[in-house]
Structures are given as C-alpha cells and as structure tokens.
Amino acid sequence: MSEPRVAIITGAASGIGRALAVHYAGQGVRSIIGTFASDPHDPEETLKLVRNAGGDAVIHEVDVRSAASVDSFAQRAVDEYGRLDYAIANAGILRNSSLTEMTDARWTDMLDVDLTGVLRTLRAGAERMTAGGAMVAVSSIAGAVYGWEGHTHYAAAKAGVLGLIRSIAVELGPQGIRANAVIPGLIETPQSLDPVNSLGPDGLVRAGTDIPFGRVGTPAEVASVIAFLTSADAGYVTGQSLVVDGGLTVKMRA
C-alpha cells in the first residue's frame, strides 16, 4: 500500500480551507491545517472534524505575508509526515474600498496576502514536492469574470493568481508537478458573510435567487473540486482554472 498523501492548506481554520481538510481526511490525505493568529476561528474545530472523518492532521500557524512563516509551514509537512504532495494556496482577505480611497497601502496590503501570499505558498510547496505533486490556488469570479465595485485590489490579486498558475504549470510540468486554480462564485463562508467587505447574510440570500441553482455554494462544494484537481483523476490537467459557481457566471441576463 502506498504512503498517505500530505497537503498544506493555508487559511484552514474556517470556510473553504476547513472543508478541504475534512474532505481530504475522508480520502486518507493528511493535512497541515494553516491557521492565522488574528483569525477568530478555532483551528481545533477543523482538527476535530478531520478526526471525526477518520483522518489525521496537525495545526500550524502561518502568515502568508511572510516567506519565512510560509517556508516553516511547508517544512512542517516534511518534518511531521516525511513528505509533501499537495500545496493549497487558499488564504485570502477581502476588503471594500472605492478607487478614490484606494491608498497605496490598501492596495499593497491586499496584494501581499491574496497574490504574493499565493506565490509564497506555491513556491514553498514546489521546493518540497516531487513528481506527482499538485498545487491549487483559490481565485475568484471577481478576478476571472466579473467586475466588482469597491474591490479593484481584490480583483487584481485574484486575476493575478490565474496568470501565476498558468506560468507555474508550464515551469513545473517537466518535473511532473501540476498547478491549477479554482474560481469560486458566491460561497457561504466567514468572508462572504461579512456585510462590510462582502455581501453579508442578507446579500447572500438575495444573490442566491439570481443563481441558476437558486442558492449560493457551500465550502464543501469548492473543497471537493480542489481535491479532484490534486487527485490522480486530474493527472493530465495543469494550468487550468475551474469555475465553481452554480451557473452564476454563464447565466444570460436579458
């Protein structure tokens, strides 16, 4: 029997990252649960869900704004389990700021997490992976398809992720390492439930009525797609970006 696979997941104390750790647990993939110090969500809850699903994981604090922090996070996989197979750049922030209020500091802070943080995570993963390794970065329909007022920095970062993924795929393909992105639509998580920077609870319900599926998505519905993209079932897929949105972005509005 082959050794269990090992994944690093940034931002796994909540939302899509937590759902992915739980999904992986069901598949026998071990996770390093990335938790961010100032996040109010409890990574122990992710760990509990992983164990309930019969899986194995460890919690490790990581700040994707620091290369040293991300490197030690990725190294934890090697130290704890002796290998790293999957790197998931999931951590992200969302802030609301109009263009005229978009200071350089706001712009830079956003890109540091949502774009450079992805680079740091995938780079640290690449340094520790061998053939058969796979990476997934989490983009957004706001970076791939839609414009969103008040979110130019977020949109630019999430669009940047897609260019980054294509080039990483080409660069690491010869080593047998794959890189893909998911592009979530509206998914009910702490990020989207924030009424200041995103739609909030009421906004999500309203938005759901305009989605062909009649509702917003769940974190698990994105997690399973990420897991597919890292799995051997997607073994010849690299450099791609997959929209997970219940039909939101393909719906024609008359």
Length of the chain counted residue by residue: 254
Three-class SS state of 89: strand
Q: What is the Cβ-side half-sphere exposure of residue 52, based on CA atoms within 13 angstroms?
A: 8
Q: Which of 24, 81, 86, 154 is catalytic?
A: 154
Cα–Cα distance for residue pair 174/14, rounded to 1 Å: 34
Cβ at position 188, least distance to ligand NAD in Å: 7
Cβ at position 234, least distance to ligand NAD in Å: 19
- Decide whether 177 or 181 has the Cβ nearer to ligand NAD: 181
Q: How many C-beta atoms surround the C-beta of residue 176 within 10 A? A: 14
Which residues lie near ligand NAD (CB under 6 A)? 10-11, 13-17, 36, 39, 62-65, 90-94, 113, 138, 140, 184, 186-187, 189-192, 219
Does residue 154 carry a catalytic annotation? yes
Cβ at position 248, least distance to ligand NAD in Å: 10
- Decide whether 14 or 170 has the Cβ nearer to ligand NAD: 14
In which element (H, E) is residue 135 found? Answer: strand 134-138
- Decide whether 173 or 214 has the Cβ nearer to ligand NAD: 214
User: Using CB atoms within 10 A of its CB, is residue 20 exposed (0-12), middle (13-18) or buried (19+)?
Assistant: buried
The residue sitting closest to ligand NAD, measured at its beta carbon, is 15
Which residues form the catalytic set?
Answer: 154
